[in-house]
Chains A and B, each alone.
Chain A
Amino acid sequence: MSVIYILLAISIIVAVVFFIAFIIAVKKGQYDDSYTPSVRMLFEDEIVKENSNKTILTKKD
């Protein structure tokens, strides 16, 4: 049962890593605008006019 020390240590480290990621995201300004990304996400990708290169999958080999 003393394995619980290791388990706790690891889980706390993982939690803190995510917390640091949160802090970095806030610092970079990702939380400044919470509405526009929700709209941006739904835009379609542009259809590229030039013909794309034939992929390997279409080669009949």
Chain B
Amino acid sequence: MSNNTCFHCGLDATSSTITFDDKSFCCHGCKTVYEIFSVNDLTCYYDLQQAPGATPKDVEGKYNFLDNTKIVEQLLEFNNDDTQIVTLYIPHIHCSSCIWILENLNKLNPAISTSIVNFGKKNVRVTFNSKSLSLKNLVALLSSIGYEPFISLDDYSVGKKHIDRSLIYKLGIAGFAFGNVMFLSFPEYFQVDGFWIEKYKPLFRWLMFFFSLPVVFYSAQDYFISAFKGLRSKILNIDVPIALGVLVLFIRSSSEIIFDVGSGFFDSLTGLIFFLLLGKFFQQKTYTFLSFERDYKSYFPIGITKIAAGGTEESIQVYDIKKGDRLLIRNEELIPVDCILIKGSARIDYSFVTGESKTVSKQSGDKLFAGGKQLDGSIEVDVLKSVEQSYLTQLWSNDVFKKDKALSFTNITNRISKRFTIVILLIALIATTFWLLTDSSKALNVFTSVLIIACPCAIALSAPFTFGNILRILGKKKFYLKNASVIEQLAKINTIIFDKTGTITANKETAINYEGSQLSLDEETLLKSTLRGSNHPLSRSLYNILNKHDILTLDTYEEFLGKGIEAKYKDHNIKIGSAPFVGYTNDTATLNTTVHVSTNNQYKGKFTFYNAYRKGISQLFNTLKKEYDLVILSGDNAGEKDNLTKLLPTKTKLLFNQKPEDKLEYIKYHQNEGANVLMVGDGLNDAGALAQSNVGIAISENVNVFSPACDAILDASKFNQLFNYINISKSAIKIIKWSFVLSFIYNIIGLYFAVTGQLAPVVAAILMPLSSISIVAFTTITTNIIGRKLE
């Protein structure tokens, strides 16, 4: 049978029989989107990229909060008469087809005048006519074509962000000045004597001086400010030698042309600042892709339906929820606050908070916690605590989040720069005293030359370029790091802690085992038909593994929440569910999840659901144990202990029934004993542990839903590459150390010229850019080589 994939989204379409226009689709949603596109002449969408679409989700009622004008007002960038502009974040933007279709939105609805995509930030800025199209309908339109926007409280409360472009300005000015100054200093390089050169030399020199002024006072500002701050707190960071070098260069060059002693070093000055800013610019570009700044607020819905005293429903903001309010929570909506269930049957998916994918059923009077998602219809709840006081928020207000990890860790650049500055000052002083005694006219010359030529630019450049490139390479392999210091931390770890559920187990696969008497063909058909009508995740998993059968139309079907399903067909009746429901009383209390089956009141057997562990996990653990201590902390019971001991190497510690606080304490304890801890987890309840550990990695099946306390996000499919990724971090540190060696060679050559008083501007002008460029080339080439080794 040929492998049929959905033309729209690329998922498997072999089990469905939906075709349209000679193309197969996996579901009606995808087919509908294709129809929309072909009717509006937008099929070019499929030409740019294969299967670029996403199945549209049902958003009935989900965006009703956009009817509230106060909320809409906060979300819009511009609102005037009949034009509105809004910027929406759309996680599904991932290819050129997405850019194409989103920029051609006006073909779908002429009320949209323009839409511009920013691919890097994954957002689209839409200008539309508000009289003919409301924001709510715009969002509905986007959802219908598979590009549902993600609207969060973050967008709501911050308002317009001020874009900081100062680095681009500074870089532009430095580049402009650098080019012109190089051009103007050419005559001096060639040392040609001649009347004309002598006559115009001052003119050229003063022009160079004026070009350098904005560079020194505007572009190099940050270095001076940072050096000053560092000195004030008694730290010699990398910006101190840079600021010192720039200052000395400027003063010496200016005094040289004022007293007509020489031509000054303006070319080296502007060149130095230009290359340094280039490094900063490159570094900044690598950080913008994945936003790590989300806090808990971005997970909550913005508007909630409140049921007022008279029974009318109104849409209110999440912040306005007060204790005692009655709220209506619909299918697939998040519960924003701790509350008590009043009306309706609740089936809550707490995977957000606990990582457990099995849903929890609650009855009227039960307490529901914030962060759960309601499935299966709507419920009415009474609020117990406002948003600020709920369990989730309190978990986040834990002190561990307030500590800034970066401050306590001095990175490799700052460590080297401390020694560098001191050594250079020593050499300068020694050389100067030597010359003061021998030939005092050269003393000042030598002092300033040493400070000029001792180029810290290699040190300042190798780290940003190496780390920047590594961040980019790892990002391509779906391992997203928060910033460069994570790489350094990762190279230093010696203990790795794993969470169990969702981290080493795959949420999507579960192995199912049947024990009991064989079911006849009729019975299996009845079983499959019955399961088809149930939405319960266990029913769905079971349904998928049963063999293909013709589906019967059942005579009666009834689902009892929390207990099971009962159905009748002709004269057969079947009961599926928990042991007491099915009538099986001999069931010993097992720790596993089981579904029992009985037909015609005769017990048949049970299906047991086992956690499926991710592929390659044994191999990964075996490789890791050679260099690291491994621990598994699980919030689950000890039911899986035997399985885990079989699967994992012997020295792995297994601890069960760990609450979030327990995990945090465990990590803190080991850190005090000197361990550098890497924690791999998921789910918001791991957040404290992830923040406390030296490096926290969140495993995610969907990179847009993650725990913000982490330092890195690893896509679930790349989990078994963890060892290779840690090795790359170690190689990155090695590369940086080698580039320091390279820069020392340059420095020694330059110092030779400086100490002997032979430092001509042309020598400086050649050495400094040469060292910078070669360091950048070296780091880029070597990082690309080690990146290629990763598959």
Q: Does residue B546 face the partner (Cβ distance < 8 Å to A)?
A: no
Given contacts A1-B196, A26-B169, A44-B44, contact A35 B119 (CB under 8 A): yes
Q: List 11 A–B pairs whose Cβ atoms lie within 8 Å, in order of A's numbering.
A: A8-B203, A19-B172, A19-B173, A23-B169, A33-B118, A33-B119, A33-B120, A36-B117, A39-B99, A42-B96, A43-B48
- Find out whether the CB atom of B180 lies under 8 angstroms from the CB atom of A36: no
- B residues contacting A by CB (< 8 A) are 41, 44, 48, 96, 99-100, 103, 116-121, 163, 165, 168-169, 172-173, 176, 180, 196, 199-200, 203, 207, 285
- Find out whether the CB atom of B165 lies under 8 angstroms from the CB atom of A26: yes
Q: Does residue A50 face the partner (Cβ distance < 8 Å to B)?
A: no
Q: Does residue A4 face the partner (Cβ distance < 8 Å to B)?
A: yes
- Which 10 pairs show the lowest CB-CB distances between chains A and B? A36-B119, A33-B118, A39-B96, A35-B119, A35-B120, A31-B168, A26-B168, A19-B176, A22-B172, A39-B99
Q: Does residue A32 face the partner (Cβ distance < 8 Å to B)?
A: yes
- Find out whether the CB atom of A29 lies under 8 angstroms from the CB atom of B168: no
Task: Return A52 CB to nearest CB of chain B, in Å.
Answer: 17
Q: Does residue A15 face the partner (Cβ distance < 8 Å to B)?
A: yes
- Find out whether the CB atom of A36 lies under 8 angstroms from the CB atom of B163: no
- Alpha-carbon distance A34/B121, docked complex (angstroms): 11
Task: Return B416 CB to nearest CB of chain A, in Å.
Answer: 32
Per a CB cutoff under 8 Å, which of B99, B165, B169, B203 touches A36? B99
CB-CB under 8 A from B168, the residues of chain A are: 26, 31
Q: Does residue A54 face the partner (Cβ distance < 8 Å to B)?
A: no
Given contacts A19-B176, A23-B169, A40-B103, contact A29 B119 (CB under 8 A): no
- Alpha-carbon distance A32/B162, docked complex (angstroms): 12
Task: Return B715 CB to nearest CB of chain A, in Å.
Answer: 21
- Alpha-carbon distance A40/B100, docked complex (angstroms): 8
Per a CB cutoff under 8 Å, which of A19, A23, A40, A44 touches B99? A40
Known: A36-B119, A40-B99, A43-B48; 15 extra A-B contacts, CB below 8 A, are A8-B207, A12-B207, A23-B169, A23-B172, A31-B165, A31-B168, A32-B118, A33-B118, A33-B119, A35-B119, A36-B117, A39-B99, A42-B96, A43-B103, A49-B41
Task: Return A53 CB to nearest CB of chain B, in Å.
Answer: 21
- Find out whether the CB atom of A43 lies under 8 angstroms from the CB atom of B100: yes
Chain A interface residue count, CB cutoff 8 Å, equals: 24
Task: Return B657 CB to nearest CB of chain A, in Å.
Answer: 48
CB-CB under 8 A from A39, the residues of chain B are: 96, 99, 119
CB-CB under 8 A from B207, the residues of chain A are: 8, 12
CB-CB under 8 A from B200, the residues of chain A are: 4
- Alpha-carbon distance A21/B248, docked complex (angstroms): 33
Task: Return B183 CB to nearest CB of chain A, in Å.
Answer: 9
- Alpha-carbon distance A12/B521, docked complex (angstroms): 90
CB-CB under 8 A from B172, the residues of chain A are: 19, 22-23, 26
Per a CB cutoff under 8 Å, which of A22, A32, A40, A43 touches B163? A32
Task: Return B85 CB to nearest CB of chain A, in Å.
Answer: 14
Would you call the interface of chain A mostly helix, strand, loop, or mixed?
helix
- Alpha-carbon distance A23/B169, docked complex (angstroms): 7
> Which residues of chain A from 25 to 61 have any CB-CB distance to chain B below 8 Å in the complex?
26-27, 29, 31-36, 39-40, 42-44, 49
Identity of the chain B residue whose Cβ is nearest the Cβ of A37 in the assembled complex: B119
CB-CB under 8 A from B180, the residues of chain A are: 12, 15
CB-CB under 8 A from B169, the residues of chain A are: 23, 26
Identity of the chain B residue whose Cβ is nearest the Cβ of A29 in the assembled complex: B163
CB-CB under 8 A from A19, the residues of chain B are: 172-173, 176
Task: Return B283 CB to nearest CB of chain A, in Å.
Answer: 15
Task: Return A28 CB to nearest CB of chain B, in Å.
Answer: 10
Identity of the chain A residue whose Cβ is nearest the Cβ of B183 in the assembled complex: A11
- Alpha-carbon distance A5/B200, docked complex (angstroms): 9
- Find out whether the CB atom of A36 lies under 8 angstroms from the CB atom of B176: no
- Alpha-carbon distance A14/B758, docked complex (angstroms): 37
Identity of the chain A residue whose Cβ is nearest the Cβ of B166 in the assembled complex: A26
Given contacts A19-B176, A31-B165, contact A36 B120 (CB under 8 A): yes
CB-CB under 8 A from A31, the residues of chain B are: 165, 168
- Alpha-carbon distance A36/B285, docked complex (angstroms): 14
CB-CB under 8 A from B165, the residues of chain A are: 26-27, 31-32
CB-CB under 8 A from A27, the residues of chain B are: 165
CB-CB under 8 A from A36, the residues of chain B are: 99, 116-120
Identity of the chain B residue whose Cβ is nearest the Cβ of A33 in the assembled complex: B118
Task: Return A37 CB to nearest CB of chain B, in Å.
Answer: 10
CB-CB under 8 A from A5, the residues of chain B are: 203
- Alpha-carbon distance A1/B41, docked complex (angstroms): 66
Identity of the chain B residue whose Cβ is nearest the Cβ of A36 in the assembled complex: B119
- Alpha-carbon distance A34/B677, docked complex (angstroms): 38
- Alpha-carbon distance A8/B184, docked complex (angstroms): 10
CB-CB under 8 A from A44, the residues of chain B are: 44
- Alpha-carbon distance A41/B256, docked complex (angstroms): 50
- Alpha-carbon distance A32/B118, docked complex (angstroms): 9
- Alpha-carbon distance A43/B99, docked complex (angstroms): 10
Task: Return A19 CB to nearest CB of chain B, in Å.
Answer: 5
Task: Return A10 CB to nearest CB of chain B, in Å.
Answer: 14
Task: Return B46 CB to nearest CB of chain A, in Å.
Answer: 14
- Alpha-carbon distance A42/B180, docked complex (angstroms): 35
CB-CB under 8 A from A42, the residues of chain B are: 96
CB-CB under 8 A from A1, the residues of chain B are: 196, 199
- Alpha-carbon distance A34/B285, docked complex (angstroms): 10
Identity of the chain A residue whose Cβ is nearest the Cβ of B195 in the assembled complex: A1
Task: Return A49 CB to nearest CB of chain B, in Å.
Answer: 8
Identity of the chain A residue whose Cβ is nearest the Cβ of B44 in the assembled complex: A44
Which of the listed residues A27, A32, A39, A42 has the most CB atoms from chain B within 10 Å of its own CB? A39
Given contacts A35-B120, A36-B118, contact A15 B176 (CB under 8 A): yes
- Alpha-carbon distance A8/B187, docked complex (angstroms): 14
CB-CB under 8 A from A29, the residues of chain B are: 163
Task: Return A42 CB to nearest CB of chain B, in Å.
Answer: 8
- Alpha-carbon distance A13/B7, docked complex (angstroms): 58
CB-CB under 8 A from A49, the residues of chain B are: 41
- Alpha-carbon distance A23/B207, docked complex (angstroms): 21
Identity of the chain A residue whose Cβ is nearest the Cβ of B99 in the assembled complex: A39
Task: Return B197 CB to nearest CB of chain A, in Å.
Answer: 11
CB-CB under 8 A from B285, the residues of chain A are: 34
Task: Return B196 CB to nearest CB of chain A, in Å.
Answer: 6
Task: Return A7 CB to nearest CB of chain B, in Å.
Answer: 11
Identity of the chain B residue whose Cβ is nearest the Cβ of A42 in the assembled complex: B96
CB-CB under 8 A from B48, the residues of chain A are: 43
- Alpha-carbon distance A50/B451, docked complex (angstroms): 71
Identity of the chain A residue whose Cβ is nearest the Cβ of B210 in the assembled complex: A12
CB-CB under 8 A from A43, the residues of chain B are: 48, 96, 100, 103
Which of the listed residues A5, A8, A29 has the most CB atoms from chain B within 10 Å of its own CB? A8
Identity of the chain A residue whose Cβ is nearest the Cβ of B289 in the assembled complex: A35
Task: Return B110 CB to nearest CB of chain A, in Å.
Answer: 15
